[in-house]
């Protein structure tokens, strides 16, 4: 598996995780939760991006 393929897999997985967290937030009616998850997710992506480069 090339590094590009690996990044694609990570990205796809990240999108699925984010989508499920947002769906969970909507179902539980917690916009605050959704906001918190999105902020945490962005931080994780930034950290991973820094590690990768």
Which distant-in-sequence residues (6+ apart) come within 8 Å of 45 by Cβ? Answer: 14
Is 47 within a domain? Answer: yes
- Answer whether residue 11 is part of any domain: no
Q: pLDDT 10s per residue in the chain (53 long)?
A: 688 888 888 788 888 888 887 787 777 777 777 788 788 888 988 988 888 77
Q: Is residue 4 part of a domain?
A: no
Q: What is the DSSP letter of 29?
A: T
- The domain tally of the chain equals 1
Q: Does a structural domain hold residue 22?
A: yes
Which structural domain, as residue segments, surrounds residue 37?
A: 16-52
> Nearest to residue 25, comparing CAs of 11, 39, 43?
39
In a domain, 34, yes or no: yes
The pLDDT of residue 1 is 66
Is 6 domain-assigned?
no
Among residues 9, 24, 23, 19, the alpha carbon closest in space to that of 41 is found at 19
């Amino acid at each position: 598996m090339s590094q590009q393929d690996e990044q694609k897999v990570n990205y796809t997985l990240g999108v699925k995780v984010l989508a499920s967290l947002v769906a969970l937030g909507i179902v539980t009616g917690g916009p605050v939760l959704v906001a918190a998850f999105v902020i945490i997710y962005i931080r994780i992506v930034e950290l991973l991006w820094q590690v990768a480069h």
